[in-house]
Every structure is written in C-alpha cells, then in structure tokens.
Structure 1
C-alpha cells in the first residue's frame, strides 16, 4: 500500500498543531497553578498574622510625669507702672525740648567762640631784604588805612608785609586799588585771617 506524500505532510502538520495546543494548555495550567499557590500563600500569611497575640508591655513603656507650668503674676503688676511713669513725665512737658535745645545751642556758641581764624585773604604790599622798608610799609598802612592791620613776617633773608583780614576776595580787591597807589606791586594772597578783625573792615566806606 503506497501512502501519498501529501497525506503524510498533512498528518504531520496536524500532529504539530496538536502538540502546540497541548503546550499552550500546559502553560495556561501552569500559570493558573502559580496564581492559585500565590493566593493561598498570602492567605496563609494573613491568617498566620491575624492570629491573636497577647503580651503585657506596660512594664516596658516609658512613663512621663506632666507638671503644669506656673506663671508669675507679680512681674506684670510691678513692671507696668514703672514704664508708664518715668519717661512720659518729661516728654509731655513742652519746656523739656526747649531746655535740651538751649544746652545744644550753648555748646555750639562756645565752640564758635573758640574758633578765631578762618581761611580768607590778605594784601601783600612788600617783599624785600631791607628791614627799614618793611617798617615804612607798616607805618604807611597805620596812617592811610587805620582799619587794616599790617602783619610782618621774616624768613631769612626776606621780609614780607601783608595787610588786612578779608573774608571775601571782593573786599580785598576794593582795597587793592587804593594800596597800589603807593605800592604798585601789591597782590592778593589767600591766608588765615582773624574773624573779629575781618568784621571791622568796611571797604565801602574807604572806597568813597
């Protein structure tokens, strides 16, 4: 009896399909078994943990004693009147500020009185080596301009004669024109001047 080769291939393919179906069924059964076992194991753990456990732990637990805090009421009554009475007594008086202001003004006035010299200007009328000429320049200022004070300084071998205590350069310029009638080389220089003597200078009256 001769079997057709097509029949042999068909039978072989059928057996292969059956084998694959069996393998799939086996795998499905294996997965189901694992899931069931896992559920059973969880239930067993839960059931084992859910068993009643009784033990007295009161002797092991720490104990704390609670004490209620106490507030001192005496400090509130003692401090309140002191803060209200001391500073407000002087602040509310209008004369308190005036007294403070007077003391500050007095100190400023004393400081201003102690300041004698400020930066100002003087007219230099003579520079030379002859003492008699320097003295003659001083005497000329005493006679022609009595309100100006001459100042002579000596730095070997030179004599310098400066006149006036001017706070402003404009005041010195008014005198400069008058002084140059006698000393044509006179110039204005910045210098430290006496405050009181600068108040006594009156360029307007001399220029008239």
Structure 2
C-alpha cells in the first residue's frame, strides 16, 4: 500500500471516530417550554357552604313511608328472568329428538324376505330393540337398536351374533326417547 492510501484510510478513520464522539443535536423534553392552557375544558364546581348551627322551625317528625316497591321486586325480577331462561332452555331441549349414537347392522343383502326375517327375529327375541329397514337399490339394510353408548350396543352384539355372525356396530343418529327405553341384556335376566 502506498503512503497516500494509508493516509486516506487514517483520515477516514479519524473522521468516523470524531463524528461518533461529537455532541448530538437532539431535542430534549427536559428543557422544553411546552405550555397549554386547559382551564377552558376543566369542569367547574360551585361550592355551597353548609349551614351549621341553624335549627329548622318545624320539628322533624318521623315519617312512616312504605318501602319502595322497586326494591322488593328486584330479587323477584331476577328470579323471573332466570325462570324465563330456564323455560326456554327446557323447550329447546325437548325439541331435540335425535343424538349421535350407535345401531347394530344385522343384515345387508339383496333379498327382501331375508331382511323381513331379520326384522321378525329382532321382534321375537329382542322386543325392546327397534328394527329399521332401509333400501338403497338393490340393497336392503336392517339395523336394530338405539344406543347412546357403544358399550351398550356391544352387549347386544354378542347375543345377536349367535344368529347373524356378520353383525357390526355402526354410528348413526338415534332417537333419544327410544334409547332410554332400551334395557341392557344383563338387566333383563
């Protein structure tokens, strides 16, 4: 490197160091002269001196006034609102007829007589289970029961497999009222 290049490098380095050490011209909030008159927007209150030591001419007689009706009705008002909300919820719950549950599919095939035979078998041996036949051309499907819990359906599945070995449990929409009427096989013995 030549002497001129070294000198230029030293000069640039010196300028950078001196500029880093110099005082910055920054706006400081400590010495600012900010002034704003807010008296126009401030609220004003008039002070009234209380009168002490003066007696009124009329003696203060106790007045028996009945309690306001609003205070007595307030708890009842809350109870009425609560009763209304509970009645609404009860009506909505009664309107719900179906829930996700399980059914046992005992027959799938093309022969209508066999589907009817499966339905008759369920009526004879499991009167508390309701059979459902669906037909989607050319297949008949026979499903039985309205079970909310899979474990309940599994107990019946063991008994049904004696006659229908291909029976399986499938998820389905079930009628809530009918599902509550199904008794477990262990309870009916």
TM-score, structure 2 as length reference: 0.61
Work out the CA distance in 2 between the residues paired with 1:201 and 1:94.
44
Is the aligned partner of 1:205 residue 2:171?
no
1:137 aligned residue: 118
Deviations along 1:135-177, whole A, 9 cap, x unmatched? 0000110010010000000000000000000000000000000
2:130 paired residue among 146, 149, 167? 149
Moved over 6 A (4+): none
> How far did 1:91 drift?
8.0
1:170 aligned residue: 151
> Does the Cα contact within 8 Å between 1:90 and 1:96 map onto a contact in 2?
no
1:69 aligned residue: none
2:80 paired residue among 96, 99, 114? 99
1:110 aligned residue: 91
Deviations along 1:78-107, whole A, 9 cap, x unmatched? xxxxxxxxxx92686322111111110111
Show the 5 A alignment for 1:26-175. 89=70, 93-175=74-156
Work out the CA distance in 2 between the residues paired with 1:177 and 1:195.
23
Work out the CA distance in 2 between the residues paired with 1:167 and 1:187.
16
Work out the CA distance in 1 between the residues paired with 2:133 and 2:126.
16
Work out the CA distance in 1 between the residues paired with 2:137 and 2:155.
32
Work out the CA distance in 2 between the residues paired with 1:182 and 1:90.
71
3-state SS in 2 of match to 1:93: helix
Higher helix share: 1
3-state SS in 2 of match to 1:146: coil
Structure (1 or 2) with the larger CA radius of gyration: 1
Counting matched residue pairs gives 120
RMSD: 1.5
Work out the CA distance in 2 between the residues paired with 1:101 and 1:149.
39
* CA pair 100-183 structure 1, distance change in 2 beyond 3 A: same
Work out the CA distance in 2 between the residues paired with 1:172 and 1:143.
18
Work out the CA distance in 2 between the residues paired with 1:100 and 1:120.
35
